[in-house]
Copies of this chain bind each other. A is one copy, B any other.
Amino acid sequence: MVVRVQDENFDIGAEIDALRSGRTDIGAIVSFTGTVRDLGGEAHVAAMTLEHYPGMTEKALEALEADARARWPLDDCLVLHRFGRLEPGDNIVLVVTLSAHRRAAFEAAEFLMDDLKTRAPFWKKEETADGTRWVEARASDDDAAARWAGDAA
């Protein structure tokens, strides 16, 4: 069970190396990295600040990870989320899943991201040319999370 919430940046390669180190029973490693995106033009984002709920965040991410491990045969997994001020191109979130089977590694990583988007207590505030604004939740994120309701595929 590996869950981390931190303001420092992370190194994708180093995190994957730490998880797989010394293991020869893994066949598939999937990583997802979410980054700050700047669409430019009128939607130009100079930076964003991620606020979170210390204590509940860790609890929510641990619950997510336990759900993923119960549904797919994972050898290990990592959920790491940053908070604080971030600029375009910066890393926000990293999910890594390790399994003997590629389908399980892919599905578990996608599930973790979809569920994290609707359950983990983080809020994004963007800095734009017109000032700051809180990012609004998207219905498409609820739909994505709803795909995983019920039994594992």
Q: Which A residues fall within an 8 A CB radius of B?
A: 11-14, 16, 20, 22-40, 88-89, 100, 102-103, 105-106, 109-110, 113, 144
Contact = CB atoms under 8 A, between A and B. Distances in A.
Q: Describe A's contact surface by its main secondary structure.
A: mixed
Nearest to A30: B32
Given A11-B13, A89-B20, A29 B32 contact: yes
A14 B13 contact: yes
Contacts of A31: 12, 29-31, 33
A109 B32 CA distance: 11
Given A27-B37, A40-B25, A32 B89 contact: no
Given A106-B109, A144-B103, A24 B11 contact: no
Contact of A100 (B11, B37, B102, B113): B37
A135 to B, nearest CB: 12
A69 B11 CA distance: 27
A13 B19 CA distance: 14
A27 B25 CA distance: 31
B12 A88 contact: no
B35 A20 contact: yes
A22 B16 CA distance: 23
Nearest to A45: B24
A69 B62 CA distance: 35
Nearest to A14: B13
